[in-house]
Amino acid sequence: MPAERIHSAARRDTRFALREIFREVSGHQLNANGEFSAATLEGNLHLDPATTDLYHWLRAIFSRLMDVRGVSGDSLTRLRETVMAAARGVKEACERGTSRDAIARWVLQHYSLRSLRYASDIDFGSQAPTNDQQGSLAPGVVQAPQQSALRHGVFLPPPPVLNTRTQGLPPMLPGIASPVAPSAGQGIPRIQTYEEWLASQQQSGQHSLAKEDQRLGSSMTARKAAIYGTTPEEWMARSMHRF
């Protein structure tokens, strides 16, 4: 197949998958250009913050696909595969009854423009909407009050968390580094739970106490009483158990 046809097919499939993602999350069907239809806009459309962010994310990718000069066919193919994987994950999550808001935020986190760049080697930075564009989606579209400054991972650094899997949602596409979760090969130790930390502290303290007992001996002395804060009787009972 000629390279031009490969590019065209990859872009077409990517746009379709993006529109399917938005339709599953918002319930609104975008046209072939990734825009709201006139009929939708006539209904004084309201979008919640997560869906608004998802729309900006989608528009950034659509804009980048309008001009693919210098982009290889392999990059476009990898972008198509990644976005189609996201669309499958969204569909499965919707079928499980996961909230649309959670699904939108999952897409924005795991398939951010930064993550898509890692997967496809396509730079979307110049396509990110400005602050003025953020507040104006299209004539007739009303954006709900924004509750969070989170956008789609272009300007903000990834949050320092190790496990970002959302309940009821599939994990990140295998082989693609998540922008928020380091890979297992990076040598980052697992974060202990509070209970694990407390147990390790208790075990460490008991070990140190036993070593001190061995160094001082089992007989009661004034020094030991001052160190351990015990009476001679308590010390003798304790020594019998230890030795």
In the predicted structure, residue 242 carries a pLDDT above the cut 60: no
User: pLDDT confidence of 46, banded at 50, 70, 90?
Assistant: confident
| Angle at which helices 73-95 and 3-26 cross, to 10° | 20
pLDDT at site 183: 43
pLDDT digits (tens, 9 = 90+) for 49-81: 999 999 999 999 999 999 888 889 999 999 999
- Kindly report the pTM of this predicted structure: 0.55
Domain boundaries, given as residue ranges, for the chain: 3-184, 194-242
What residues are paired with 46 via a beta bridge?
Answer: 142
pLDDT digits (tens, 9 = 90+) for 112-142: 999 999 999 999 875 554 433 444 454 444 4
From residue 12, alpha-carbon distances to 15, 26, 76, 118, 119 in Å are 5, 21, 10, 21, 18
User: pLDDT confidence of 232, banded at 50, 70, 90?
Assistant: low
In the predicted structure, residue 152 carries a pLDDT above the cut 70: no
User: To the nearest whole number, what is the mean pLDDT of the chain?
Assistant: 71
